[in-house]
Amino acid sequence: MEIKKPRGTRDFSPLEMEKRDYVEDSMIGVLKSYNYRKILIPTFEHAELFQLKSGEEIQEHMYVFRDKSGRTLCLRPEATASVCRMFAEELRGKRLPLKLYYSCPMFRYERPQKGRYREFWHLGIELIGPKSPESDAEVITIAYNSLKKLGLKFQVEIGHLGILRGLMDDLGMDEKIQDRVIASIDKGDTENLRKLVDKQILFDLIETKGDMDVIERAEKLLGEYKKAKKALNELKGVLKWLKLMDVEYKINLGIARGLEYYTGTVFEIRVSGLGAQNQICGGGRYDDLIELFSGLKVPAVGFAFGFDRVMSAIDLQGIEIPRKATDVIIAPVNDTVKEDAVKIASQLRDELNVDVDLMNRKLEKILRYAGDIKARYTIIVGPEDLKKREVTIRNMKSGKQKRVSIENLKKEMIKICK
């Protein structure tokens, strides 16, 4: 019987995992340098958590199921609602700000295609507590610096949902309609948008994109609309900080985001050449979501990298990921020295990564194998050498060999490997 993996899921080979771990470590290094700390949330939650404020788009794609006690659960489709729930349940009363990050798989029942999976990874942060332009700017800068550090080429686009919502409030549109308008903008569904609104100013606003001149254009456009104008001023504050932090970006007042909980600054990062799924990161400010779960008015802002898309961008742009070589292969020349070979390996393992031949191969074949997997050294353990308490170290690159006493082996190997 042949059983295949479910549609939209993937297996990752050791080589792929090595690359993914390298990239993840590099990004986490940036998050840690800003003092973000790791959390973990459950793989499944009560479905209601995402039904309250995440929006239709997410709900349509959720894996919902009943457990044996009849509870309606779902696999987490994203982490922000979970983190807010966690704040209400576990973290309320802690000193603010809370700077949190997570790296774990999400599940969405979407139509699988290149860059779109049913199981995919988010590496994300949530900054809970501050409400200031510099905190929005910090979050965007972290995303920017994480990608720059990897050597990627990408474009950051920044918008503000307060401007869109503010304008719709000023136009007297109710919240339900606003949610539908925002969902249609996010999907690029102009036809539906035309059915929902007939005010040209909204269409003009979402087409307002470009460099700093956008702000002037938007100021003129929004002249008499107070709420929208106030949000535009907030955005100006964030942009000022981003300039200070040397972040390059474009302004796009048409960014709507697919999730309903955003209230302020929003941003998306794209990589050209990735096709339709070219958005590798999305995030923004959501000041009302924690209140929904905890009753406490605590503002927050965050983002998530679509980690799989970051990996595709790395491949696409030909960014070399350094491979981690095996330090040492230990080659027992025959059965009589196997026990010694295993003992030698254990002595070295607290410092190096060490393989002992487990295939009972002849020395010549072990050396060929060590060459194939690009091991750095082979330690040849032979009966004659052992009588003198010695082994032979072979440098696999140069082919040079030297004898070392077992007593000094560890010191010698650390010296040459590190």
Query: Where along the sequence are the contacts to ligand HAM (CB under 6 A)?
Result: 78-80, 108, 110, 115-117, 120, 122, 124, 126, 258-259, 279-284, 302-304, 306, 308-309
Write down the least CB distance from residue 309 to ligand HAM, Å: 5
Residue 305 or 377 having the CB closest to ligand HAM: 305
Amino acid identity for residue 20 in this structure: R
Write down the least CB distance from residue 78 to ligand HAM, Å: 3
**C-alpha distances in Å from residue 239, one per residue of 51, 143, 205, 251:** 33, 15, 18, 9
Write down the least CB distance from residue 119 to ligand HAM, Å: 8
Residue whose pair of structure tokens reads 């798989």 in the numeric block: 105
Write down the least CB distance from residue 83 to ligand HAM, Å: 8
Residue 161 or 348 having the CB closest to ligand HAM: 161
Amino acid identity for residue 191 in this structure: E
Residue 78 or 234 having the CB closest to ligand HAM: 78
Residue 159 or 282 having the CB closest to ligand HAM: 282
Residue 291 or 412 having the CB closest to ligand HAM: 291
Sheet containing strand 328-332, edge to edge, reads 354-356, 328-332, 377-381, 390-395, 401-405
Cis omega (within 30 of 0) for bond into 42:
no
Closest by Cα among 339, 399, 391 to 368: 399
Residue 157 or 327 having the CB closest to ligand HAM: 157
Report the C-alpha gap between 349 and 370 in whole angstroms: 17
SS3 137: helix
Residue 124 or 264 having the CB closest to ligand HAM: 124
Q: What are phi and psi of 222, to 5 degrees?
A: -90, 5
Residue 17 or 373 having the CB closest to ligand HAM: 17
Write down the least CB distance from residue 292 to ligand HAM, Å: 15
Residue 264 or 284 having the CB closest to ligand HAM: 284
**C-alpha distances in Å from residue 141, one per residue of 34, 137, 149, 269, 270:** 10, 6, 12, 12, 15
Task: For residue 353, count CB atoms less than 10 angstroms from its CB and return exposed for 0-12, middle for 13-18, buried for 19 or more.
Answer: middle
Report the C-alpha gap between 238 and 215 in whole angstroms: 12
Write down the least CB distance from residue 69 to ligand HAM, Å: 28
Report the C-alpha gap between 102 and 80 in whole angstroms: 10
Q: What are phi and psi of 177, to 5 degrees?
A: -65, -40
Sheet containing strand 44-46, edge to edge, reads 44-46, 72-75, 64-66
Contact residues for 48 (Cβ-Cβ < 8 A; gap 6+): 72
Write down the least CB distance from residue 139 to ligand HAM, Å: 8
Q: What is the DSSP string of 102-120?
A: EEEEEE-----BTTB-SEE
Residue 290 or 341 having the CB closest to ligand HAM: 290
> Residue of minimal CB distance from ligand HAM?
306
Write down the least CB distance from residue 1 to ligand HAM, Å: 29
Write down the least CB distance from residue 143 to ligand HAM, Å: 10
Write down the least CB distance from residue 156 to ligand HAM, Å: 12
